[in-house]
Amino acid sequence: MISRQASALYDRIGETYAYLDPAVRANISSFANLAQPAELGDGLAQLTADLRSGAFAAIKSRYTAQVGDYAYITARTEL
């Protein structure tokens, strides 16, 4: 059975801005129990910037699976 906190992570799929809310993150175990404060701060700052600039929407639009997910990973190489 999926835990209540794990369920909260999936409940917010499609509501990316909700992850910026501390009350929402407090009910998601991967944020509440695993994230270090500096890591969380850096990640939230980047998410905010990506949401405002449209970068997040551009990445999400390239994901073509019908079921969706809560994680989108991009990588780049620097020469």
Q: What confidence tens digit (pLDDT) does each residue in 7-38 have?
A: 555 566 677 888 899 988 888 878 878 888 89
Task: Write down the pLDDT at residue 1.
Answer: 43
Q: Is 78 a residue whose pLDDT tops 60?
A: yes
Task: Write down the pLDDT at residue 13.
Answer: 65
Angle at 36 between CA 59 and CA 45, to 5 degrees: 40
Kindly list the distances between the CA atom of residue 70 and the CA atoms of 24, 48, 76, 78, in Å, as whole numbers in the listed order: 14, 16, 20, 26
Task: Write down the pLDDT at residue 2.
Answer: 44
Task: Write down the pLDDT at residue 68.
Answer: 60
Residue pLDDT, tens place only, 39-62 = 899 999 999 999 999 998 888 888
